Amino acid sequence: MIPLPGKTIAEKIFSNHSGTDARAGDIVVADVDFVMGQDGTTPLAIRALANMGVTEVFDPEKVAVVMDHSSPSPLEGVSALHTMMREFGKQTGCTVYDVGEGVCHQLIPEKGHVVPGDLMVGCDSHTCTYGALNVFSTGVGSTDGAAAMASGKLWFKVPDTMKVTYEGALQPGVFSKDLILYLAGQIGVDGATYEAIEFHGPVIDELSVEARMTISNMAIEVGAKAGLMKADAKTLQWFEGRGEKTPNPQDPDPDAAYARELTIDASAIGPQVAKPHAVDNVSPIEEVEGTPIAEGVLGTCTNGRLEDLAIAASILKGRRVHPDVRFIVAPASRQILLDAIAAGYIQTLVEAGAALVTPGCGPCVGTHNGVPSDGENVISTANRNFKGRMGNSNAFIYLGSPATVAASVIEARITDPRKYFAG
């Protein structure tokens, strides 16, 4: 008999959680370690639970709901949904993160709800963010979320894995956002549909944990079910003091079977920009430099972390946001806001002309906090630039790194940030 090949990170985590020898293509019913919902999806999950006749969650310690997408509420309808979530929290005992706590994808790992080796689902497509922390985390719909909240289980198809290796080293002024935008440009918005991606290589090893999360966050933008990385010493250190749970890191076997392998020379990558209206419509910044912009956004679950605020503050220190630009800053969580205040970044950004909004999703999904006007161009650190994404289908969204956004808001046009990192 031919021995079976080794396992990918995904196959290991699904094996551990389903009590089977899980292999790509298998359909398993697996135990989940955590379930999360946000304010756009939880109300439907609550309704699905009611329809199922379920009044309790399987384990209140393992469920959280987050008010982040439209928060504080801009509308009566939203206020009613937020009330429904608060009542759900009281009824079930699950954790409720109310207005001002931050974006779900920052809070779940920040508060130690998941650790390496876990399997979790969230009712939000960017739940793949925690793959950077060696968690198999994936986005599901509200009914799936409800089933997981009720039973602590969910059915999964164990995905094939695509291995992406970043060789070389990053140039100054180039960041993890540029690496993932470059990949999207290469493989397209459906380049990894139904698959998991594992990210490897010396460039990933060098990145901070925060910078790695930016990459895994956007795995869904190429269709992937998860964007996984190994847990190294940095990952384990990041989790210290965040909670009681013990990490159980899962490395892929050296002879794991990958569906495809792709190697990218990161040294050759400069700042990248995704142009309207698709995340894979990516160009090197040289091709879009000079495009006028009316709004800049720094924040979101992609790039609203402390390091991102630090990069923007380093560029804007002693400079001014162009008078023709609105520069909106949304820290990803209350803790990040506090840390950024302590480090002086908020002072710098606000002095430079930034409009600071509540920790949360900010203007990302077009419900409030900076809906662009007809015909306007926006440069954003977010992960999506679909038509209408920010609430106006006649606006144009460009995506780039925090450095690219900071450099661009100074000049009111898309600007290569490398000049601030020269020498």
Partner 1 sequence: MELSAKAFKYGDDINTDYIISGKYKFKSADMEAMAHHAMEELDPHYYDKVKPNGGFLVAGKNFGMGSSREQAPLVLIHSNTKAVLAKSFARIFYRNAINTGLPVVECDTDLIDDGDDLVVDLEAGVVRNLTKGTEIPFPPLPPVMAQLLSDGGLVEHFKKYGGFNL
Return the one option of ligand SF4, partner 1, none that residue 423 interacts with (CB less than 5 to 8 A, by type).
Answer: none
Q: How far is CA 159 from CA 14, 137, 228, 278, in A?
A: 10, 13, 12, 25
Sheet of strand 260-265: strand arrangement: 226-228, 196-200, 161-167, 260-265
How many residues of this chain interact with ligand SF4, rule: CB under 6 A?
13
Q: Residue 160 has what DSSP assignment?
A: P
Q: Would you say 30 or 282 has its CB closer to ligand SF4?
A: 282
Whole-angstrom distance, CA of residue 58 vs CA of residue 92: 9
Q: Which of residues 45-104 bind ligand SF4 (CB under 6 A)?
A: 68-69, 103
Q: Crossing angle for the helix pair 334-342 and 306-316, nearest 10 degrees?
A: 40
Residues that bind partner 1 (CB under 8 A): 27, 29, 39-41, 43-44, 47-48, 51-54, 69-70, 75, 77-78, 81, 123-125, 127, 139-144, 146-147, 150-151, 153, 155, 157, 189-190, 193-194, 220, 223, 225, 278, 365-367, 384, 386-389, 391, 393
CB of 185 to partner 1, least distance (A): 15
Of these partners, partner 1, ligand SF4, none, which one is at the site of residue 296 (CB under 5 to 8 Å by kind)?
A: none
DSSP state of 220: G
Q: Minimum distance from CB of 32 to partner 1 (Å)? A: 12
Nearer to partner 1, 348 or 358 (CB): 358
Instruction: Quote the least distance from Cβ 388 to partner 1, whole Å.
Output: 5
**Position 124 contacts ligand SF4 (CB under 6 A):** yes
377 binds, among partner 1, ligand SF4, none (CB under 5 to 8 A by kind): none
Residue 381 to residue 404: CA distance in whole angstroms: 9
Query: Which tokens go with 204?
Result: 């990933």
CB of 365 to ligand SF4, least distance (A): 4
Say whether residue 218 binds ligand SF4 (CB under 6 A). Answer: no
Number of other CB atoms surrounding residue 301 within 10 Å: 28
Q: Please report how close the Cβ of residue 412 comes to partner 1 at its closest, in angstroms.
A: 26
Closest CA to 196 of 421, 54, 9: 9
d(CA 423, CA 35): 46
Angle at 275 between CA 297 and CA 129, to 5 degrees: 60
Among positions 348-377, residues that touch ligand SF4 (CB under 6 A) are 361, 364-365
The helix (H) or strand (E) run that includes residue 176 is helix 176-187
User: Considering beta carbons, is residue 118 or 124 the nearer one to partner 1?
Assistant: 124
Distances from the Cα of 80 to the Cα of 73, 83, 95, 124, angstroms? 9, 5, 19, 20
Quick one: 53 or 323, whose CB is closer to partner 1?
A: 53
Choose which of 16, 73, 138, 300 interacts with ligand SF4 (CB under 6 A).
Answer: 300
Query: Would you tell me which residues interact with ligand SF4 (CB under 6 A)?
Result: 68-69, 103, 105, 124, 126, 300-301, 361, 364-365, 382-383
